[in-house]
Amino acid sequence: MVAPLMDVSYAEVAAQRVMDRADQLAAISESAGQLTRVYLSVQHLRANQLVAGWMAQTGMTTWQDAVGNICGRYEGKQEGAKAILLGSHLDTVRNAGRYDGMLGVLCALEVVAYLHQHNLQLEQAIEIVGFGDEEGTRFGITLLGSRGLTGTWPGHWLNCEDASGVSVAQAMVLAGLDPSRIANAERPKTDFSAYLELHIEQGPVLEEEDLALGVVTAINGACRLNCSFTGHAGHAGTVPMALRKDALAAAAEWMTLIEATTRRYGPDEVATVGTLSCAPGAVNVIPGDVKLTLDIRSPHDESLERLLNQLLAEGEAIAARRGVQFSAEAYYAIPATPCDAKLQATLAQAVSDVQGRCLSLPSGAGHDAIAIAERWPSAMLFVRCEKGISHHPAEAVIESDVALAVQAFTQAVTKLAGE
Ligand SMILES: [Zn+2]
């Protein structure tokens, strides 16, 4: 049986509760006046307790798992049924906003609250997880919470240390967890049929389109490279223009081409030169050596590779024409995470129902879904955030957008869990 559609006035009250709870969570911080809540801290455990209390109010059984995720389960018609997993993370960057991560957990709570209030049990159970670490703020390693569920913690993670020299293993003990039991957090593939994560967009696309909600097609893959142009340094007054091997002029030409080529290439690919250093670096010396970085992302691995090859070929061509050397070395690469097509379609239908149309867009930032998608079909619902700002205290969402999000999310989850 499919639940009746949530009416607007109910969604408004739910959205108020979400905003109020986001404020309550934002007050749990290691520093007054700022929001910083890191993995396995006292604040992390307090946030878990608060969320567990809210879960219990909506008829869920709750537990904290072996890596410190807070978990809740709302039974289906038959006890022990397969579940749909909803969630996001409860940790933050330093001096964070209050919605990145938390909004996904709080809206998931509203889905269950709605079912509970209407005394509805679906074919599938619903579980909610508040992941303990997605941002990697404390230990410099990310997705510790979601990789706990997939059982893919690399062995060396326990030895990683925070800025004070406390290891993950020591922090776990201090938090009342047993590092020898992290494998207990792993969930068998058969436990869940799907994972849905609601998250703020962290970009300006929905705002530009004047839409509250969008459905994620894929989490972008990324590649980062260290690049250089090497020419000849020389006297700015004595070397004629025709005889120069100016490394910075070559780099500048490449940068404008990176921008133009990537813009032409497609709507979803992005490429950025984020750092550039120039030597010798004097007003009266022709630059002989330039080092720069390239960050390139795409929701499609093949597109990323094709674009990257094109950009590198352009760099080579510029260098050859100018008689300088060009080099590029990749030092980081992560493949794209495509979202499940059927789940995307269900989310898109629900989004169209509540806001008239649906926009599909890639996610430029990483999410827990990267890890979870390795084991379970996963999809994401994006909520507009003001000016696309995130990881900053100015991070903001509109309450009426949250109301639409709760409506669409509830409809999609109900449909999937009712089948
Ligand atoms: Zn996040």
Mean pLDDT to the nearest integer, 299-310: 97
User: Do 325 and 342 fall into the same domain?
Assistant: no
User: Do 107 and 205 fall into the same domain?
Assistant: yes
CA distance 313 to 257: 11
Total count of domains within the chain: 2
- pLDDT grade for 4, boundaries at 50, 70 and 90: low
Mean pLDDT to the nearest integer, 375-395: 96
CA distance 128 to 344: 19
CA 356–ligand 1 middle distance (angstroms): 27
The DSSP line for 128-148 is EEEES-SS-TTTS---HHHHH
191-227 in b/e burial notation, b at 16+ Cβ within 10 A? bbbbbbbbbbbbbebbbeeebbbbbbbbbbbbbbbeb
CA 247–ligand 1 middle distance (angstroms): 39
**107: phi then psi, degrees, rounded to nearest 5:** -70, -35
Q: In Å, how far from its chain's centre is CA 188?
A: 24
User: Do 149 and 264 fall into the same domain?
Assistant: no
CA 395–ligand 1 middle distance (angstroms): 12
Q: Containing domain of residue 23, as a range? A: 8-219+337-418
CA 110–ligand 1 middle distance (angstroms): 19
| pTM exceeds 0.85, yes or no | yes
Q: Which CATH number fits the domain that encloses residue 126?
A: 3.40.630.10
Mean pLDDT to the nearest integer, 38-43: 98
Q: Show which of 283, 300, 334 is a domain's final residue.
A: 334
User: Do 343 and 289 fall into the same domain?
Assistant: no
% of the chain beyond a pLDDT of 90: 98
User: Do 64 and 49 fall into the same domain?
Assistant: yes
CA 396–ligand 1 middle distance (angstroms): 14
CA 406–ligand 1 middle distance (angstroms): 18
pLDDT single digits (tens) 276-296: 999 999 999 999 999 999 999
Q: Show which of 334, 353, 383 is a domain's final residue.
A: 334
**330 has a pLDDT exceeding 80:** yes
For residue 1, the model assigns a pLDDT of 46
% of the chain beyond a pLDDT of 70: 99
CA 300–ligand 1 middle distance (angstroms): 21
Contact 38, 137 (CB under 8 A): yes
CA 199–ligand 1 middle distance (angstroms): 7
CA 93–ligand 1 middle distance (angstroms): 9
Q: Which CATH number fits the domain that encloses residue 227?
A: 3.30.70.360
User: Do 36 and 104 fall into the same domain?
Assistant: yes
**371 has a pLDDT exceeding 60:** yes
**3 has a pLDDT exceeding 60:** no
CA 366–ligand 1 middle distance (angstroms): 7
Mean pLDDT to the nearest integer, 118-124: 95
User: Do 136 and 263 fall into the same domain?
Assistant: no
User: Do 198 and 80 fall into the same domain?
Assistant: yes
User: Do 201 and 229 fall into the same domain?
Assistant: no
CA 103–ligand 1 middle distance (angstroms): 9
Average pLDDT for the chain? 96
Mean pLDDT to the nearest integer, 27-31: 97
CA 367–ligand 1 middle distance (angstroms): 6
User: Do 153 and 194 fall into the same domain?
Assistant: yes
User: Do 328 and 344 fall into the same domain?
Assistant: no
pLDDT single digits (tens) 57-89: 999 999 999 999 999 999 999 999 999 999 999
CA 4–ligand 1 middle distance (angstroms): 30
13 Cβ contact partners less than 8 Å away, ≥ 6 residues apart: none
CA 235–ligand 1 middle distance (angstroms): 50
User: Do 237 and 203 fall into the same domain?
Assistant: no
Mean pLDDT to the nearest integer, 337-352: 98
pLDDT single digits (tens) 226-266: 999 999 999 999 999 999 999 999 999 999 999 999 999 99
Q: Does a structural domain hold residue 262?
A: yes
Q: Show which of 287, 309, 334 is a domain's final residue.
A: 334
SS3 for 182? Answer: helix
The residues with which 382 forms a beta bridge, in sequence order, are 199, 214
Q: Does a structural domain hold residue 354?
A: yes
Q: Does a structural domain hold residue 2?
A: no
CA 250–ligand 1 middle distance (angstroms): 38
- pLDDT grade for 5, boundaries at 50, 70 and 90: confident
Contact 131, 90 (CB under 8 A): yes
